[in-house]
Structure 1
């Protein structure tokens, strides 16, 4: 008996099969690029996602696929897929890094239960109504990415509270805000009914089963957004448990049994279980480092070596060996926590003739680490005490990068002994939806962890973090002025 978890990410689709005890048996990943047809846009064709799913499925052992009892879904948050009455996509999916709706954010007057960003479904749909009336007239459903995928596999039209509450169109518990939808002139019947993340959401169609090498009729869980799936897959089970995920973006999640108080720059969302969580969401982690690596013409192994030196040196030296006057702001796609500024942009300050390519790359690593620290500081200011973080995500495996994160964030890092936390969490939802597991089983399903880094009290790094914050404060108004022209 086994369960399949599918994570529909921004830059890749991951599929994981776990056994009846939650142990990973096989995994596959297929990367793809997002499209930017106009400045500030971020889109992907749903056919790109579908082909990635087919490619991932064929990489999983056929005998394991035949044994799958249920499928769970995890998906990138905030974006939206418009489909017609036949379930066909009206246009490419719009994704969370998209900033085209930035000028519409004033339609969400303060106070809001959560920060509103232009790449959320609400602002994006408002933009569609104003700028693509033909697309709006064809739309029957406005779906979250993972909900589109479940529908494409034969499942029910539904969504869950963890995704709904992050659309800027629902209350903190995830219920659609009918008054807000009316004010924004968004049809109420575009929005799918709610079901728990762990509820059954239909069964796999014969056509999809044949395409994927699975058995028709197996249960499809409703699923959840990728961050709560990663928290579930990483074993967050108790109040105060905390997780750092690094991928295209970065999230710091702290689990809560009760609804967290609102705090500027932080999100408070529903978990995949019946918990809540507070979250700092930083948009520019892997996406910024990948772009800098490309600009500098690095392969990843060389980028790490030139930025940090060899692994042995990194484990014994402090982080203060970087160029002291060089600062990188990583905000290539605007930023959410803590700045709530979609106009924020990136760059280096302090470049000199003697700076090497490695020094420029190192500054980029530090800038991304500092942006994560700014998010963690917002969580700490909200009243949560965080001295240790579980660590998950494909962008956090290099020992030198982990040490920099521990130093910059001033935390102990405990790597989750599970390389695919979000799809594993999705697979667990599949097991819950099929009745194999129950809520009381979640704590025992938590994977093991390994302490991989701790803070070394690097005062020079702390000074560079202060410089980073000072630099952003000095240029913030300039970014706003530039975006208005």
Structure 2
């Protein structure tokens, strides 16, 4: 408190589909919230849904314009008597932007062939296990560092003055200062954990210097006051402190830290992530699946994370299978999910089954050629049955991921869940029944933006440190979802006796179908 003024904090989350600007008090309670679509800021998509790959190609100027306008709307909504102390940003970690000496964006799109060449180069230097042990990231073409490495093989490589993540870029537009925070800097996939510096082979290959890649700072580090341009374009009050933010899912976990400790953490959104947070030494790389080790925004902690494509598959079903644009037929989301509730409430037994790989897969390994599948279709199969099968199929995949990430995962464990999939009660119940464990849904309107706001509170000294900030929301729970024992027993049998065998069969089908198609290429 400052007299009669209430101190508030702002957090910005740059998501794959929307920008969220949340203003909250020092206990993480929402004061105001504004959202805008990020789709117009993607390069080469004409506002349509972009590729789901990790290196999303943003137009920095357009992204800043959208973000500034969203912040300005939030400032207009801010009640009188509130004093905004700080602002910090969260974003997807793996996406990077290249800036020249003037701070202007450099387009660095690279071809699949160039990425394959870089992956082959690094594969000649490291085994996958060695690379993962050093960087926390698998040695694969998706690695954002390979995009940079491929670009630097061209003449334009010398133009690079700064490499930044999306959140660091927005922080730069807010403050006028270029910084790097640990959690997203390391998501570039080229940070050597053992040497505490950028991978020497990467520096040698690209010709980049450490200062061009940036010296990572702890999340919640003060950068400086909002610059004059941001004061004008984002309508922020004078004197607001800009602080380093962090990786979006790490910020979300930070906001509900008391709930996450010891439990699996799930974000069900476009990308379906499952993470386990630990302190101390890095774990050994998992040989059985693609595994990522990220630096948590909480100093001294890291996350073991596996991911796959999630709710984008329900979007695909809604827009490409159920809807018929030619004849003007489309379901709204409310109607869509009311059908899901009706279907699951009537009888949880079904014949339909879905393998969630229509966009390829990241789990257990990245395979763009992997194919999805609906099985068990009958004359009674309708749109609601396909939707239920889709949601169930993603939950079966999460169950497999949980057993890989935490081998002793059982009914005694809990999963803390945030994201779009946590907003529908039927989706939650399906997931709880299939996992056979309790789901905890935090009472947070936007978890990643809340986490960023709390990190800003660390920087402006509203909190004494990260631990105090992480406890600010007091582990508030919106709801707990318990599995139904009978349904869990049913789905346990389906998982063991139908889903897993069908998945193995589909893997063989993938290979044979692709081989036949290749023989008939023109």
Short-chain TM bin: 0.7 to 0.9
Is 1:283–2:299 an aligned residue pair?
no
* Structure 1 residues 115 and 305, CA gap change in structure 2 (3 angstroms): same
Which of 141, 145, 152 is residue 122 of structure 1 equivalent to?
Answer: 145
TM-score, normalised on structure 2?
0.81
Q: 1:397 aligns with which of 401, 415, 423?
A: 423
Q: For residues 248-267 of structure 1, what are the structure 2 equivalents within 5 Å?
A: 248-264=270-286, 265-267=290-292
> Which residue of 2 is the match for residue 462 of structure 1?
492
Structure 2 match to 1:159: 180
Partner of residue 328, structure 2: none
Shift of 1:104: 4.5
> Residue 30 of structure 2 contacts residue 445 of structure 2 at CA under 8 Å; is this kept in 1?
no
For residues 364 and 258 of structure 1, what CA distance do their matches in structure 2 show?
38
2:107 maps to what in 1?
A: 91
- How far apart in 2 are the matches of 1:454 and 1:24? 27
Q: 1:55-454, aligned counterparts within 5 Å?
A: 55-62=69-76, 64=78, 67-91=83-107, 101=115, 104-106=118-120, 107-108=122-123, 109-111=127-129, 112-113=132-133, 114-116=136-138, 117-130=140-153, 133=154, 135-172=156-193, 175-185=196-206, 187-189=208-210, 190-236=212-258, 239-264=261-286, 265-295=290-320, 296-297=322-323, 298-309=331-342, 314=345, 319-320=348-349, 322=350, 324=351, 326-381=352-407, 387-439=413-465, 440-441=467-468, 442-454=470-482
Q: Deviations over 1:428-463 (max 9, x none)?
A: 010101111122413243341144311224233234
CA displacement at 1:280 relative to structure 2: 3.2
User: How well do the aligned residues superpose, as a CA RMSD in angstroms?
Assistant: 3.1
Query: How many positions carry a matched residue from both structures?
Result: 473
- Whether the 8 Å CA contact 1:17–1:26 is kept in 2: the answer is yes
Contact 2:87–2:242 (8 Å) recurs in 1: yes
SS at match of 1:476: helix
Which of 12, 23, 27 aligns to 2:29? It is: 23
The 2-side partners of 1:121 and 1:20 are apart by: 35
Q: Compared with structure 1, are the counterparts of its residues 16 and 480 closer, same or farther at alpha carbon in structure 2 (3 Å cutoff)?
A: farther
The 8 Å contact of residues 402 and 409 in structure 2, kept in 1 or not, is answered as: no
* SS of alignment partner, residue 328 of structure 1: strand
**Secondary structure in 2 aligned to 1:153?**
helix
The aligned counterpart of 1:50 is 64
Contact 2:184 2:247 in 1 (8 A): yes
Alpha-carbon distance, 1:273 to partner: 1.2
Q: Secondary structure at the match of 2:444?
A: coil
Alpha-carbon shift at residue 74 of structure 1 (Å): 0.6
Give structure 1 stretches of 5+ with no counterpart.
none
Partner Cα distance (2:187, 2:16) in 1: 16
Task: For residue 347 of structure 1, report the CA deviation from its aligned partner.
Answer: 3.6
TM-score, length of structure 1 as denominator length: 0.87
**Alpha-carbon displacement from aligned partner over 1:313-364 (angstroms, at most 9, x marks no partner):** 73xx6632x3x2x332222443334334344343423434442122122211
Structure 1 position 10, deviation (Å):
1.1
For 1:389 and 1:454, locate their aligned partners in 2 and report how far apart those are by CA, in whole Å. Answer: 11
Query: Secondary structure of 1:150's partner?
Result: helix
Q: Does the Cα contact within 8 Å between 1:28 and 1:56 map onto a contact in 2?
A: yes
1:157 and 1:193 in contact (8 A); partners too: no
Q: Distance in 2 between matches of 1:73 and 1:99?
A: 34
**1:239 shift after superposition:** 4.4
Structure 2 distance, partners of 1:234, 1:329, is: 31
Distance apart, 1:76 and its partner CA: 0.8
Change (3 A) 1:91 1:405: same
For residues 446 and 207 of structure 1, do their structure 2 counterparts lie closer, same or farther at Cα, with a shift above 3 Å needed?
A: same
Instruction: Give the conservation status (yes or no) of the 8 Å contact 1:14–1:30.
Output: yes
Deviations 1:356-404 (A, max 9, x none): 1221222111122222222212112288997112221133111100001
- Name the SS for the 2:374 alignment partner: strand
